[in-house]
A = this chain, B = another copy of it.
Amino acid sequence: MNYLVLDKIIKDALLEDIPNDDITTNSIIDDKSICSVDLIAKEEGIIAGCKVFERVFHILGNVQVKFFKKDGDKVLNKEKIAFIEGNTRNILMGERVALNILQRMSGIATNTNKYVEKIKHTKAKLLDTRKTTPNLRILEKYSVKVGGGHNHRFNLSDGVMLKDNHINAAGGIKNAVRLALENSSFVRKIEVEVENIEMVKEALECNVDIIMLDNMDLQTSKKAIELINGNALIEFSGNVCLNNIKNIAELGVDYISVGALTHSSKILDLSMKNLKVI
């Protein structure tokens, strides 16, 4: 991961949590005190973000983290994930920020993995979206990959996608695709969001690279896939959940995107326990 971006996130988060000083820790702990503490899982899941967790303490300084797991590993309830040793003040000051990040990242990886398990017998790949937490996208898209998913475009500057509002604004798919081909870089693929069979046909006539079936029912989707017939990559999107993703994948789509991976995953519960002053 890009440390220049990562460090900004971490430093901002540390300043959010400690705008001047940690008044509890500074009041009761000598700045030369050394301790050790364990990072423990409080439920089962997939761990993601080990290097980010470590980086929090690297930035605070004088703390070593030894991980027994690496990103993508399954952890069990009560399992010890890491051993942290170093300056007591810095460990206590960084605890919440480090856990807040690691818990969120692991929560996303864990949730992603549940979706991936449902469709692993098909050719469909699971995708994230841009429905990420503001200013944490780099961490969240990474976590999706750790959980077995794949990344869609990262932002509005690096992928062309013509959505309903774009198509409305441009007055139809044909005009929108024409303008996109004319004005965007030739290194971009063109993706179009379609809502019905008419739009599928129109998109096919434009030779777009990717067609996204948006909120389509299974029957219409099936018809769309037959029409496309391999002439474009197919992404399915909209109202996908753990209950219906298997059926969608078995239709034969190439990709299924799920906003909930990043906007509604619960965290993985982790804790720092057994602090011992040395």
Contact = CB atoms under 8 A, between A and B. Distances in A.
A254 B185 CA distance: 13
Contacts of A103: 131, 263
A135 B12 contact: yes
Contacts of A134: 9-10, 12-13, 16, 97, 100-101, 104, 136
Given A133-B100, A135-B13, A22 B157 contact: yes
Contact of A185 (B28, B150, B157): B150
A208 B10 CA distance: 33
Contacts of A19: 5, 19, 155, 157
A74 interface: no
Contacts of A37: 165
The listed residue with most B CB atoms (<10 A of its CB), out of A1, A2, A183, is A2
A201 interface: no
Nearest to A27: B183
Interface stretch (A113-121, A166-174, A222-230, A243-251): A166-174
A189 B263 CA distance: 28
A203 interface: no
A157 B156 contact: no
Nearest to A88: B169
Interface string A158-190: 111110111011110001100110111111110
A1 B88 CA distance: 14
B183 A26 contact: yes
A196 interface: no
A165 B28 contact: no
A69 interface: no
A219 interface: no
A30 B159 CA distance: 19
Interface in A208-226: 210
The listed residue with most B CB atoms (<10 A of its CB), out of A26, A88, A93, A103, is A26
Please give me the 7 A-B residue pairs with the lowest Cβ-Cβ distance, nearest first. Answer: A158-B158, A264-B266, A27-B183, A13-B134, A22-B156, A28-B179, A19-B19
Given A2-B21, A17-B137, A27-B182, 20 more contacts: A2-B18, A5-B15, A17-B155, A20-B138, A21-B138, A21-B156, A23-B160, A23-B184, A27-B179, A28-B166, A28-B175, A28-B176, A100-B131, A100-B133, A100-B134, A103-B131, A135-B136, A158-B159, A159-B187, A188-B189
